[in-house]
Amino acid sequence: MAVKYKAPKNIREKKSKINARKEFWIIFLIEAGLFLITSVLAVVSAFELNKLVKAQKIYLPKLSLQDFLFSFLFITFFVLLFISFKKASKFKELIYRGFFLITCFWGGMTVLNLFMPAFGAVLIMGILIIMWLEVPTVWVHDILITLGLAGTASFFGLGISPSIVIMLLVIFSFYDFIAVYKTKHMVAMAKEMIDKKVILGFIIPKEIKFFKNGLDKVKPGGNFLILGGGDIVFPNLLAVSVVPFGFLKALIIVLFSLIGSLFSYWIFINQKNKEPIPALPPVALFTIIGYFVALLLPL
């Protein structure tokens, strides 16, 4: 009679630790790659946009702190109201999908049209959107969200002063903490978006092969982690806001915000019970540190 071999407990524990370490570094590198690509794309796009602004070929809106906060509070009110309607499932899905597609198309066009004719930009975005609608996979989603977030940050970041962005980072860090741990409406909205397969953020697979999975495979506690769009856009707003003062200064802020994002992941992974955490506070802290470092360096 054959008896299945069972390794000793210490060997199993050692193997488990090795696998956990391997998973940590895979996710770490994928998150770093997605974050860095989006950030560099935002800064490079902002650099090109700033040239057009100086040449008076385009006009970018200037945003004050009051404008930004009023818009955010207005949107937050409707988001909370929206979440409270439990029965309007189909309508919610339509709204989520519409918002996702508009954001990604507009942001993607902002970026791509800086480096190619409008026809080429429309063609690329059109193909990606059709793929997302017909065969929604993780890699298509992440490409769309990368372009969407980079375009959003590059467009609005140039119209906001660094001091205002720093205040926004501090304010929204507190908001993120409250929305995750107190009111929990951010967690509820994230779960609902995952359920509707419309995620406004990066989907980070635990293995490279999971990039080809469909969005229906993305579940809480499964083979994927989610990094919200706000945790990417806000630090990039600060990086973009200093582009007129120096390209290298912006890149220093990008590197520090990347460290903050990875530190946030380290906090998440070292929890006893893997629960959603407010990712923005550590990202904001390192981004602000990066800003002051960039100010001090003679670049």
Are 261 and 231 contacting, i.e. CB atoms less than 8 angstroms apart? yes
Least confident of 30-39, 179-188, 281-290: 179-188
What's the count of helices (H) and strands (E) in the chain, helices before strands?
10, 2
199/51 Cα distance (integer angstroms): 33
Query: So what's the pLDDT on residue 4?
Result: 54
Give the residue, 200 or 11, on which the prediction is more confident: 200
**pLDDT tens, position by position, 63-83:** 777 776 777 676 666 666 666
297/293 Cα distance (integer angstroms): 6
Q: What is the pTM of this model?
A: 0.86
Ranges of each domain in the chain: 21-70+88-296
21/128 Cα distance (integer angstroms): 34
State the pLDDT confidence band at 251, using cuts at 50, 70 and 90.
very high
78/263 Cα distance (integer angstroms): 32
DSSP tag of 299: -
**pLDDT exceeds cutoff 70 at 215:** yes
Amino acid residing at 135: V
β-bridge mates for residue 205, sequence order: 224
Cα torsion 49, 291, 166, 247 to 10°: value is 0
DSSP tag of 64: -
84/78 Cα distance (integer angstroms): 10
β-bridge mates for residue 225, sequence order: 204
Helix (H) or strand (E) holding 205: strand 201-205
